Amino acid sequence: MVAKFKRQYGSGVEPLTHLGQNYMVVDRSLIPEILQILHNEEQFDYCVDLTAVHYPQRDKQFDVVWVLYSFPRNERIRVTTRIADGETLPSSVPIWATTNWLEREVFDMFGIKFDGHPDMKRILLPDGWKGHPLRKDYGILQQDNEWVQINLGIESGQ
Partner 1 sequence: MTEPHTLSPLDLATPDKTFLDANELVINMGPQHPATHGVLRVILRLDGEKVMGLECVIGYLHRGVEKIAENRTYTMFNPYVDRMDYVAAVSNGLGYCETVEKLLGVEAPPRAQYIRVILAELNRMASHQLWLGTHALDIGAITPLFYTFRDREEILKIFEKYCGARLTTHAFRIGGLQYEAYDGFEKDVKKFVAFVAPKIDEYEELLTTNRIWVERTKGVGVISAKDAIALGVTGPVLRASGVKWDLRKAQPYANYKNFDFEIPTGQNGDTYDRYLVRMAEFRQSLRIIQQAVDGLPEGPVMAKVPKVMKPPVGEVYHSIEAPKGELGYFIVSDASTQPYRVRVRPPSLVNLQALDVMCRGAMVADVIAVIGTLDIVLGEVDR
Summarize as ranges the residues that interact with partner 1 (CB under 8 A).
18-19, 21, 23, 45-49, 51, 53-54, 65, 67, 71, 74, 76, 78, 93-94, 96-98, 100-102, 109, 118-119, 122-126, 133-134, 138, 140
Cβ nearer to partner 1, comparing 9 with 101:
101
Cβ nearer to partner 1, comparing 94 with 115:
94
Give the alpha-carbon dihedral of 52, 136, 125, 80, to 10 degrees.
0
- CB 111, min distance to partner 1, A: 14
Cβ nearer to partner 1, comparing 27 with 63:
63
Could you tell me which of 119, 129, 81, 123 has the C-alpha nearest to residue 106? 123
- CB 3, min distance to partner 1, A: 22
123 CB contacts (<8 Å, ≥6 apart)? 101, 104, 105, 107, 108
Cβ nearer to partner 1, comparing 4 with 50:
50
Q: Where are the alpha helices (DSSP H) in the chain?
A: 2-9, 31-40, 99-110, 145-152
- What distance lies between CA 76 and its chain's CA centroid? 17
| Rg value, the chain, Cα | 18
Cβ nearer to partner 1, comparing 5 with 39:
39
- CB 89, min distance to partner 1, A: 17
152 CB contacts (<8 Å, ≥6 apart)? none
- CB 34, min distance to partner 1, A: 18
- The span from the CA of 70 to the CA of 93, in Å, is 17
- CB 8, min distance to partner 1, A: 25
